[in-house]
Amino acid sequence: MLWVEIDWSICHECRKCLAKPSCPVRAIVKPDPDEAAYIDLDRCYGCGKCVHACPFSAIQLIHVNRSGKGCGAIIR
């Protein structure tokens, strides 16, 4: 199964996440300009559009197990 993760060692923590508008199901969450963005895996279906939208290549497609539990796909 394909999902995505934001690599926070690469992410610039832009005040306005430039990849966020690319997500058709609003799975990229950035609650506050000063907080890091993360992927809501309950919404994400792995289309990959956000991967191309981040100008810093901080979002990567990953393979996760079928349940998605314990996969570490959301990292801080």
List residues near ligand SF4 by CB under 6 A. 4, 6, 11-14, 17-19, 22-23, 25, 27-28, 37, 39, 44-50, 54, 56, 58-59
Q: Residues 37, 17: contact at Cβ < 8 Å?
A: yes
Interatomic CA distance for residues 31 and 48, integer angstroms = 21
Residue 51 dihedral angles phi and psi, to the nearest 5°: -60, -40
CB of 37 to ligand SF4, least distance (A): 5
If the CB atoms of residues 56 and 69 are measured against ligand SF4, the closer one turns out to be 56
Q: Which residues pair with residue 28 across a beta bridge?
A: 39
If the CB atoms of residues 29 and 70 are measured against ligand SF4, the closer one turns out to be 29
